[in-house]
Structure 1
Amino acid sequence: MAGVPVGLPAGIRLSDHISLGVIAGAVPLARVRKILAETGRASERDLPASVMVYYVIAMALYMGSSTREVLRCLLEGLRWLWGAEAVRVAGKSGISQARSWLGEAPLQRLYEELVQPIATPATKGARYRGWRLTSLDGTCLDVAYTEENRSKFGLPGVSWGESAFPQVRLVALVENGTHVLFGARLGRCAEGETPLAHAVLGALRPDMLCLADRQFFGHALWSRAVSTGADLLWRVKSNLRLPREQVLPDGSYLSTVYPSETDRRHRSNGLRLRVVEYRLAGIADAEPLYRVVTSILDPQRALGAELAALYHERWEIEVALAELKTQLRGARVVLRSETLALVRQEVWGLLLAHFAVRGLMHEAALQANEDPDRLSFSHAVHVLRRKIPHFAALSPSAQACPA
């Protein structure tokens, strides 16, 4: 459940290399203003729309603090630059009105345009034989219990009755080497991950190798993913019919999947794929046999044993989603928004905040010639939280500081 709101930390000793300009660097003010204009949300009220965009992102960094306290902290730098009355800290109702005016669209557009894979050739652990490694998965986030949230998002079923909170479902891709969550789509908790995944897979590119767990495999979704030009490595269920049509030198074999039994009988609309079977000897609770399928049909491009080992990199998205849900949002913390549009706005802000932190970590890893996995996400979040009161990159009006 949500924690008791607390005050934000006072400014203390700061890093020599890290500033909250990181957020403005990840989400540039010029881009914010452009999207606000394009979506018809630009305004210069007591709480300008550009300030509210950064406020929604800052909310994700301080889930345990009150909405008014988050705004006070964000505006502290502005008050120092422009005087005590330049931007006033609004009350809860004023903040809610400003967020409602802003709406979901600008945050979603910013996410879709800015949040992309960021690994460079120098990024350690981001590639396999030239492919950029990505993974597909989903999760659910608890939202505040209101009648609108319950009716719009739904209550997930549990062993006894229903969950205490409505949930929004999130499906996304992750760039394994940097943990950047991109291509995300949001939906009702009852909607299931597969329908959302059809839209998410549109973010794949031909240089990518996408990993996914067995609940995603199906003829339609596999076909959608293959059409992007990316290569795939997905686990499949043990009862899936995969006849051995051609055994390959590395022990893997070629097979064909069909959309229906009628297509199978007529050998129509089939999709050719390669199957790798393996066992995990000496591992407690390991299943008797694991099967993964891949669109890489030539074993010379990727040996079966390598693909079997590589598949377990899929857990990188589990780690990234844990960063989003636990280390950034806070364990068992409920999203605070009470309407459909503001819940979705808050989730886009959460994803943008995660992107800003991960971008910071990637830059630090490159400078230190380290794998980003070796850096602490929690520490990076802590640094940003300490630095926010000293952020003065936004003007109280477009006239005061032109883009």
Structure 2
Amino acid sequence: MPRPGQVKSSGERLSDRIALGVLTRVFPPELVDEVVTECGRVEQRSRLLPARVVVYFVLAMCLFSGQGYEEVARLLTQGLERVRQWERPWRVPTTGAIGRARRRLGPEPLKVLFDRVCRPVATTATVGAWYHGWRLVAVDGTVLDVPDTDTNAAFFGRPGSARGQQRSAYPQVRVTALVECGTHAVFAAATGPLSVHEQHLIPALLHRLQPGMLVLADRGITGFELWNAATDTGADLLWRVRKNIVLPIVEHLEDGSYLSEIVATEDRGRRRHPAVVRVIEYTLKGHDDKDVYRLITTIRDPGKAPATELAALYHQRWEIENTLDEIKSHQGGHHLVLRSRDPAGVEQEVYGFLLVHHALRDVMHHTAHQAGLDPDRISFTRTLNTARRHVTDQAALSPLTTQPGPGTDRP
């Protein structure tokens, strides 16, 4: 029997009790274990850093961007040693051990976890998420700096500098995403080298589109094949196109828009196999009248969506720009450079950032829904700081539901 004030060994490792506040609520341990098993990452021997802990570590390092590996590990387990005795003592892993554990895990479990959990979160009552029954979503891309290693430079490439032939200091990974405009929830993503244009990464996102969505995109996205592929999902589209796109007038409509046709580049001469689109042209008050915005949409009936409303609605596309800024500038910090020194680690880290952002946005939506507010009224920075505080505040709380044995204090 233990002496008074002592507790019996629980048979658990301290690392099994790691808690991440809101992150373990959105990504519970049983789901992480299921994903780890599905991806074949279950350990054959006991490790200081089992796969589940490494998944949570990747999430933590994307929550505490800028902190060193060992400091992140301390934040995860701070205070747990005082709660009970453990089967094995915990020691903070070295940077090298954490790096090896991340390589063993690879990017796949983070990608599968993203696919399982990250979905649009708006309900029918969510303010600012809908237009006449369409869920507003946007597609766009960005780039992130990665460490200047030989493997990263060879795989991702780096942009040219504005100063002649000088190259950028860092290689860059390209990321494309689908975002729910009203909640900033990222629900599809793809990564690739800098040389791969956004148009070639976006097809990997289209399986997440469905009828009832209205997809907004800027003029850098539009392409005939991509337009057809997105249309085939059943979603409706509202995309801006470049000025040099030929859009012959097929039929004038009562609201000032008109029906037209777009064709593949190779069919421009004969205009074979056209896709019918509705065109909306407008200028912004106070801007040069020559700066004409040209939108094309699959919504052909002006009665369902008048041209003036769609013109105003298009600027909701900027919500994806705000979302990417939240990830890069606020969550990642100013002048963000990812910490992974190889392509697999970069992909793993990108999905870690996206998972953390989704968890924060899910909490913000829930809070806004309870208060009857537009999610835009909730501060992302304050939510981020609160989540960081709760990781250390709740480090002594277990994400597991276990029954204490005789003579064992409840954690």
Both structures adopt the same fold (TM-score exceeding 0.5): yes
Amino acid at match of 1:124: V
Question: Secondary structure at the residue paired with 1:139?
Answer: strand
CA displacement at 1:80 relative to structure 2? 4.2
Question: Secondary structure at the residue paired with 1:51?
Answer: helix
Q: For the structure 1 residues 77 and 231, does the alpha-carbon distance in structure 2 shift closer, same or farther, using more than 3 Å as the test?
A: farther
What is the rounded CA distance, in whole Å, between the counterparts of 1:253 and 1:275 in structure 2? 5
What is the rounded CA distance, in whole Å, between the counterparts of 1:311 and 1:272 in structure 2? 20
CA displacement at 1:79 relative to structure 2? 3.2
Work out whether 1:87 is the aligned partner of 2:65.
no
What is the rounded CA distance, in whole Å, between the counterparts of 1:95 and 1:289 in structure 2? 53
Deviations 1:207-266 (A, max 9, x none): 10000000111111101110110000000101110011000111100001111354651x
Question: Secondary structure at the residue paired with 1:293?
Answer: strand
- 2:72 aligned residue: 70
- 1:237 aligned residue: 242
Q: Is the 8 A contact 1:51 1:394 kept in 2?
A: no
Q: Is the 8 A contact 1:278 1:308 kept in 2?
A: yes
What is the rounded CA distance, in whole Å, between the counterparts of 1:312 and 1:184 in structure 2? 22
- 2:31 aligned residue: 31
What is the rounded CA distance, in whole Å, between the counterparts of 1:139 and 1:77 in structure 2? 39
Equivalent of 1:146, from 142, 145, 149?
149
Q: Is the 8 A contact 1:211 1:234 kept in 2?
A: yes
- 1:328-339 correspondence runs (5 A): 328-339=331-342
What is the rounded CA distance, in whole Å, between the counterparts of 1:132 and 1:278 in structure 2? 24
Equivalent of 2:377, from 365, 371, 374?
374
- 1:12 aligned residue: none
Q: For the structure 1 residues 125 and 286, does the alpha-carbon distance in structure 2 shift closer, same or farther, using more than 3 Å as the test?
A: farther
Number of residues paired by the alignment? 379
- 2:220 aligned residue: 215
Work out whether 1:363 is the aligned partner of 2:366.
yes
What is the rounded CA distance, in whole Å, between the counterparts of 2:89 and 2:283 in structure 1? 65
Question: Secondary structure at the residue paired with 2:244?
Answer: coil
Amino acid at match of 1:173: L
What is the rounded CA distance, in whole Å, between the counterparts of 1:129 and 1:225 in structure 2? 20
- 1:21 aligned residue: 21
CA displacement at 1:89 relative to structure 2? 1.3
Equivalent of 1:185, from 175, 187, 190?
190
Q: For the structure 1 residues 82 and 111, does the alpha-carbon distance in structure 2 shift closer, same or farther, using more than 3 Å as the test?
A: farther
Q: Is the 8 A contact 1:21 1:393 kept in 2?
A: no
Q: Is the 8 A contact 1:219 1:257 kept in 2?
A: yes
- 1:197 aligned residue: 202
What is the rounded CA distance, in whole Å, between the counterparts of 1:300 and 1:268 in structure 2? 29
Question: Secondary structure at the residue paired with 1:346?
Answer: helix
- 2:55 aligned residue: 53
Deviations 1:110-143 (A, max 9, x none): 0111111010111110000000000010000001
Q: Identity of counterpart residues, as a percentage?
A: 46
CA displacement at 1:48 relative to structure 2? 1.5
Amino acid at match of 2:37: A
What is the rounded CA distance, in whole Å, between the counterparts of 1:40 and 1:367 in structure 2? 40
**Aligned Cα root-mean-square deviation (Å):** 2.0
Amino acid at match of 2:258: Y
Structure 2-normalised TM-score? 0.88
Q: For the structure 1 residues 83 and 169, does the alpha-carbon distance in structure 2 shift closer, same or farther, using more than 3 Å as the test?
A: farther
- 1:221-300 correspondence runs (5 A): 221-262=226-267, 265=270, 267-283=271-287, 288-300=291-303
Q: For the structure 1 residues 103 and 145, does the alpha-carbon distance in structure 2 shift closer, same or farther, using more than 3 Å as the test?
A: same
CA displacement at 1:287 relative to structure 2? 5.2
Question: Secondary structure at the residue paired with 1:323?
Answer: helix
What is the rounded CA distance, in whole Å, between the counterparts of 1:64 and 1:46 in structure 2? 24
Equivalent of 1:134, from 137, 149, 167?
137
Amino acid at match of 1:70: V
Moved more, 167-176 or 76-85: 76-85
CA displacement at 1:281 relative to structure 2? 1.7
- 2:357 aligned residue: 354
Q: For the structure 1 residues 66 and 360, does the alpha-carbon distance in structure 2 shift closer, same or farther, using more than 3 Å as the test?
A: same
Question: Secondary structure at the residue paired with 1:216?
Answer: coil
Question: Secondary structure at the residue paired with 1:379?
Answer: helix
Q: Is the 8 A contact 2:21 2:387 kept in 1?
A: no
Q: For the structure 1 residues 286 and 117, does the alpha-carbon distance in structure 2 shift closer, same or farther, using more than 3 Å as the test?
A: farther
Q: Is the 8 A contact 1:47 1:87 kept in 2?
A: no
Equivalent of 2:177, from 172, 184, 188?
172
Deviations 1:301-358 (A, max 9, x none): 1001100000000000000000010000011021111111111111110100101110
Question: Secondary structure at the residue paired with 2:220?
Answer: helix
Amino acid at match of 1:269: H
Q: Is the 8 A contact 1:78 1:394 kept in 2?
A: no
Q: Is the 8 A contact 1:78 1:86 kept in 2?
A: no
Amino acid at match of 2:274: G
- 1:206 aligned residue: 211
Equivalent of 1:110, from 110, 113, 119?
113
Q: For the structure 1 residues 80 and 193, does the alpha-carbon distance in structure 2 shift closer, same or farther, using more than 3 Å as the test?
A: farther
Q: For the structure 1 residues 113 and 243, does the alpha-carbon distance in structure 2 shift closer, same or farther, using more than 3 Å as the test?
A: same
Q: For the structure 1 residues 172 and 287, does the alpha-carbon distance in structure 2 shift closer, same or farther, using more than 3 Å as the test?
A: farther
Structure 2: state its 5+ residue gaps.
Answer: 1-18, 406-411
